[in-house]
Amino acid sequence: MTDTKVYLLDGGTLVIDGFHAFWNRGPAGELRFPCYAVLIEHKDGRYIFDTGYDHAHVMRVLPFEKPLQTPEQTIPGALAKIGLKPTDINYVINSHYHFDHCGGNKHLSKACTVCHAKELEASTKHQPFEHLGYSDMTFAPQLAKQAGKALPPDEPALDMYTPKFETITGDQEIAKGLWLLETPGHTAGHYSLMVELKNRRPMLFTADACYSQKNMDMNCISSFHLDPTASLKSMHRLKALAEKHNAELFYSHDPDSFPNYVKAPGYYS
Ligand SMILES: [Zn+2]
């Protein structure tokens, strides 16, 4: 049996305003922040938790977020750096379906997709103010077509991408030591991920239930949410979970913490 390894795949950066990053607190002004995917090599298979954003999508739909992404920061490019191909991935887990967390799904053509049942539903039946968040539907081309949602006009390969979905609810240990923990509020069916490892403390990936250490310290959520009260409660849940399991929190979009994380080809084990 091989021990579980965790690789962080750098996915480039985006820009939002400080008032969005720290809801009603700010300060205002451009804030550039990282996006990344988490690859877990587990004895049951290779899992990817979130897949970052697609540069062409952001340029087409949200160019004001000023994406900076090199070829090595795409999912195929990042996997190549550790000697893997997109078809080597067995499972994609999506914390939620905002464009900066599912943009690389379409490359992982052999993977089964795991997500919260409520989140898959929300991706096509969301509130009007969530429109831009759920603007990249390439993770589920068939679903997008059924719902009349736009797909990129110039990507015929999407017709061949027909992922299988496994939807779940509640907290679930989906494989030994891989825990999906419900943290709704940012979106309807948001999951955070805890990974137990042999040689270190558990890693608790907050996803967008908490963008950064500063959000946690200020007790301040981001402005992108379905339900702010639930969102704040989920952030408090993450803090309590980290204490209970002696886990280290890894934030989704933290320009201060990210430089200190070990990035692929390095890994945690
Ligand atoms: Zn999000």
Q: Where are the alpha helices (DSSP H) in 130-268?
A: 141-147, 213-218, 228-245
Distance, CA 98 to ligand 1 centroid (Å)? Answer: 5
Is 136 part of the annotated catalytic residue set?
Answer: no
**pLDDT, mean over the chain:** 97
Q: What is the pLDDT of residue 25?
A: 97
Identified catalytic residue from 10, 50, 54, 100: 100
Distance, CA 134 to ligand 1 centroid (Å)? Answer: 9
* Within-domain flag for 267: no
Q: Cα–Cα distance between 77 and 92 in angstroms, integer?
A: 17
With a cut of 60, say whether residue 82 has pLDDT above it: yes
With a cut of 70, say whether residue 1 has pLDDT above it: no
The DSSP code sequence of 66-115 is --B--GGGSHHHHHHHTT--GGG--EEE-S---HHHHTTGGG-TTPEEEE
Domain limits for position 42: 5-260
Q: What is the CATH number of the domain that holds 45?
A: 3.60.15.10
What phi and psi values does residue 166 have, to the nearest 5 degrees? -120, 110
Rounded to an integer, the average pLDDT of 93-98 is 98
Distance, CA 225 to ligand 1 centroid (Å)? Answer: 8
Domain count of the chain? 1
- Token pair of 105 as six digits: 């799904």
* Within-domain flag for 269: no
With a cut of 90, say whether residue 251 has pLDDT above it: yes
* Within-domain flag for 105: yes
Q: What is the pLDDT of residue 2?
A: 77
Distance, CA 32 to ligand 1 centroid (Å)? Answer: 15
* Within-domain flag for 161: yes
Distance, CA 255 to ligand 1 centroid (Å)? Answer: 16
* Within-domain flag for 187: yes
Q: Cα–Cα distance between 118 and 202 in angstroms, integer?
A: 27
* Within-domain flag for 231: yes
Work out the pLDDT band at 12, boundaries 50, 70, 90.
Answer: very high
Rounded to an integer, the average pLDDT of 108-133 is 97
Q: What is the pLDDT of residue 207?
A: 98
With a cut of 60, say whether residue 133 has pLDDT above it: yes
Distance, CA 117 to ligand 1 centroid (Å)? Answer: 17
Q: Cα–Cα distance between 162 and 55 in angstroms, integer?
A: 22
Q: Cα–Cα distance between 196 and 177 in angstroms, integer?
A: 5
* Within-domain flag for 153: yes
Cβ-based neighbours of 203, under 8 Å, separated by 6 or more: 6, 194, 195, 197, 247, 248, 250, 268
Distance, CA 223 to ligand 1 centroid (Å)? Answer: 10
Question: With contact defined as beta carbons under 8 Å apart, do 12 and 53 qualify?
Answer: yes
* Within-domain flag for 265: no
Q: What single DSSP character describes residue 228? A: H
